[in-house]
Amino acid sequence: MSETASMDIHARLVECGMEAKHAQIVMDLATHPPSKASEVGKRIGISRMDAYNSLRKMQDMGLIKATLDKPMRFLGIKIEEVFDLLIRKSEMDLRRMQEHLDEMKSDAHLALLSHDNEHQEPNFTVLKDRHAIMANLQSILSEAEESVWMMLGHWGIFHLRRSVAFEAMVEAVNRGVVVKISTSLNDKTVKFFDDLDTRIEVRHHEDFSMQGVYVDDEVGLQFINVEKTPTGRGKNDSALLIESKDFLAAQLELMAIQWGAGTSYRAAKARLTEGKIIEPLRLNLGEGSYYERLRTSLERSVDGSISTPNAFLRRSGEPVPVQDNPQAAALSMLGIDLNDVLGGVGIRIGQELANKWGSVESDEQFWTYLTEEWRELGMGEIVMKGMPPESVVVHNGGACGGKPTVGGMFCHLDEGVLQGIMMVRHKVDVLSKERVCTSDGTDSCHFEIQCKTEQIDSAL
Amino acid sequence: MDCGTCETAGPIQVVKPDVVEVSLTISDKAQSMLADAFGEDRSMALLVGVLSGGCSGYMYDLQIIEETDQSCQEVNINGFRVLVPNASSHLLDGIEIDYVDRLMGGGFKINNPNADSSCGCGESFA
């Protein structure tokens, strides 16, 4: 038996309620011939007397056998038999407990001994050991009536799927309970979420580490300590079981805000598995009252004698378009700067490009790929200073198609692309931008972005 | 008001308007837009005229032309050759050629001190 397998079985025995020392003895005798107490003690590192006492205790429980010779030698039983014994013992214990409960329920005198602890005061309980925590979770999920808000951090889905609470959650969904899950998705957990019932809504949050659940507005369970190893047994996990309407109301309010800022599961998965960014692009379109701007522009229009066009411009009988970009002009009248809009779109494209080549470890190689693609797309010649770049200059980008007064906003798109790349690849933002344009009378154009040297805090 | 076509009506009198010496201005914004429309070639001229149409009489017509058969007055404003037909001179004297931005698309706007009134839609005058 390999050491890993041995440790795994030992962990499972402990998880089933066996003392760690007894589990060690089970493992030892399973792999050795009949042994004296002193030999067992020596092998597992305990005193002869300690070994003897433990062996006799285990013998009484039927977990090991002993020979009749002197000195007595002890021999193990098959490990699967040990598990069978533990299960049978637990079943007997359960039956006995059920009988006691039934008798107490039917006996009025026994019932009088219990103080009625049903009250509305806020209360909490500290739970230890993931098994105990999950058993409680199963219990509160079974009683869910309207909504369940689960927080599964980075690895919580592992624990949930392996626990009795998972079925309780599925049953809650089938009862019509609305179940929402907040998590921090990663490439190892995606498949578990893929398997979930489609009625369960999942949202992704960067660096979300909370684990717990809020059921209706009555009871919450929050993990305080979770083993760092995702596949661990959670022996040292601890959690608070809280019953407080005020607490739940406050927590649910926070969760609603968090939920709103989250990314849909579909978008988060696309980013993880395909390197695509598909969530809606959120842009800031400037401050101020758009209603006031609309009113202003309409007032000027309806007051016909002041500002309504009343003349056609023609050449050879054909109308001459005098405004190359009426849409841009209209947006400008409403205070929306298309340069900012395209800059924001460019950032998004840059982030996606950086994700696409995220697997390229070398920054030099990354920029070589980018420079080549940039050139192939006819977007100009990239020249960089430093690595990570302190500045990036693009010569003759020609984004405006030779008409800077009309197409100058596309220059902002290209700048945004580089900015997005810098943010994702190097975790730095852009410090300043400089632009030399043919509209200023120069023969060629270029723009330069200066990058910050300090990394930005949050990963994108 | 008599339309002049009934039996009771008197003979129609045709009044030929006087030709006046025209002065006009072009706003900076309009000059900028005309510059885009003209391009580098300033040998062309801008012919300003009035058109039938609109709900209340006339609208203005701006044409970029090389030459015209009409009898015109020529005014030079910052390098732009502007032609005004003599027949319309009494209507166009004192106008300002402007350009206005609108939410639904901008255009040229003639501000005319000779216009008695403007129609509701603002696209013509009488």
pLDDT band with cut points at 50, 70 and 90 for residue A305:
very low
Residue type, A160: L
Contact A300 B100 (CB under 8 A): yes
- What are the residue ranges spanned by the domains of chain A? 3-81, 123-274, 325-451
Does 1.10.10.10 match the CATH number of domain A3-81? yes
Share of chain A above pLDDT 70, in %: 92
Nearest residue of A to residue B57 by CA position?
A310
Contact with chain B for residue A300, Cβ under 8 A: yes
Secondary structure of chain A in HEC code, one letter for each residue: CCHHHHHHHHHHHHHCCCCHHHHHHHHHHHCCCCEEHHHHHHHHCCCHHHHHHHHHHHHHCCCEEECCCCCCEEEECCHHHHHHHHHHHHHHHHHHHHHHHHHHHHCHHHHHCCCCCCCCCCEEEEEECHHHHHHHHHHHHHCCCCEEEEEECCCHHHHHHCCCHHHHHHHHHHCCCEEEEEECCCCCCHHHHHCCCCCCEEEECCCCCCEEEEECCCEEEEEEECCCCCCCCCCCCEEEEEECHHHHHHHHHHHHHHHHHCEEHHHHHHHHHHCCCCCCCCCCCCCCCHHHHHHHHHHHHHCHHHHCCCEEEEECCEECCCCCCHHHHHHHHCCCCHHHHHHHHHHHHHHHHHHHCCCCCCHHHHHHHHHHHHHHCCCCEEEEECCCCCEEEEECCCCCCCCHHHHCHHHHHHHHHHHHHHHHHCCCCEEEEEEECHHHCCCCCEEEEEECCCCCCCCC
Instruction: Check whether B120 has a pLDDT greater than 60.
Output: no
Q: Which residues of B touch A (CB under 8 A)?
A: 33-34, 36-37, 51, 54, 59-65, 97, 99-110, 118-125
User: Considering the domain A123-274 in this protein, what is its CATH number?
Assistant: 3.30.870.10
| Confidence category of residue A139, pLDDT binned at 50, 70, 90 | very high
The partner residue sitting opposite B101, judged by closest CB among A304, A315, A333, is A333
Taking residues A178-190, what's their average pLDDT?
A: 93
Q: For tokens 């800059």, name the residue.
A: A343
Interface test with A, best of B44, B109, B110, B111 (most A CBs within 10 A): B109
Q: For A209-227, how does the pLDDT look when each residue is reduced to its tens digit (9 = 90+)?
A: 999 999 998 899 999 999 8
- Round the average pLDDT of chain B to a whole number and report it: 80
**How many angstroms away from the CA of B3 is the closest CA of chain A?**
28
Q: What is the pLDDT of residue A106?
A: 84
* B contact test, residue of A291, A298, A313, A439 with most B CBs within 10 A: A313
Strand A178-183 relative to strand A147-152: parallel, antiparallel, unpaired? Answer: parallel
Fold of B25-111: Hypothetical Protein Aq_1857; Chain: A; (2.60.300)
Residue of B nearest to A315 (CA): B64
pLDDT digits (tens, 9 = 90+) for A15-42: 888 899 999 999 999 889 999 999 999 9
Which of A300, A304, A314 lies nearest to residue B118, judging by beta carbons? A304
**Contact at CB, A322 and B37, closer than 8 angstroms:** yes
Looking at per-residue confidence, does A429 or A88 come out higher? A88
Looking up tokens 């399973």 gives A30
CB atoms B103 and A322 under 8 Å: no
Residue that wins the pLDDT comparison between A108 and A268: A268
Q: Among partner residues A301, A305, A311, which is closest to B102 by beta-carbon distance?
A: A301
Interface test with B, best of A296, A303, A310 (most B CBs within 10 A): A310
Residues A266-303: tens digit of each pLDDT: 999 998 888 888 888 888 888 888 888 887 777 655 54
Task: Return d(Cα A45, Cα A39) in angstroms, integer.
Answer: 10
Chain A from 323 to 342: CB within 8 A of any B CB = 323-324, 326, 329-330, 333-334
Checking DSSP bridges between strand A446-451 and strand B25-26, what pairing results, if any?
A: unpaired
pLDDT-derived band at A304, boundaries 50, 70, 90: very low
Give the tens place of pLDDT for each residue, A396-406: 877 777 777 66
Q: Does A311 reach chain B within 8 Å, measured CB to CB? A: yes
Q: Are strands A263-264 and A238-243 parallel, antiparallel or unpaired?
A: unpaired
Q: Do B106 and A310 touch (CB under 8 A)?
A: no
**Which pLDDT band holds residue A189 (cuts at 50, 70, 90)?**
very high
CB atoms within 10 A of CB A99: 10
Nearest CA in chain A to B58: A310
> With contacts defined as CB-CB under 8 Å, which chain A residues touch B100?
300, 307-309
Which numeric CATH code is attached to A325-451? 3.30.1380.20
Q: Say if the Cβ atoms of A313 and B106 lie within 8 Å.
A: no
Average pLDDT score, chain A: 86
> Model pTM?
0.59
Average pLDDT over every residue of B19-42: 88
Q: Percent of chain B scored above 90 by pLDDT?
A: 31
pLDDT at A452 over 80: no
Q: What chain B residue is nearest to A312 in terms of C-alpha separation?
A: B61
A195, A355, A346: which is closest to A267 by C-alpha?
A355
pLDDT value, residue A138: 94
Q: Residue B62 has which token pair?
A: 């701006």
CA distance A310 to chain B (A): 5
Q: Which residues touch A386 (CB under 8 Å, ≥6 apart)?
A: none
Chain A residue at shortest CA distance from B109: A309
- What is the reported pLDDT for A460? 43
Condensed to tens digits (0 to 9), the pLDDT of residues B1-18 reads: 555 556 666 777 777 778
Mind listing the pLDDT tens digit for each residue in A342-368?
999 999 999 988 888 888 889 999 999
Chain A nearest CA to B7, separation (Å): 39
The reported pLDDT for the residue numbered A459 is: 42
Largest CA distance in chain A: 124
- What does the pLDDT read at residue A193? 94
Contact B125 A310 (CB under 8 A): yes
Q: Where are the domains of chain B?
A: 25-111
Report chain B residues whose CB lies below 8 A from the CB of A314. Answer: 61-64
User: Lowest-confidence range among A64-68, A115-119, A238-242, A266-270?
Assistant: A115-119
Residues from chain A that touch B107, judged by Cβ atoms under 8 A, are: 309-311, 322-323
pLDDT of residue B116: 60
How many beta-carbon contacts under 8 Å exist across A and B?
A: 102
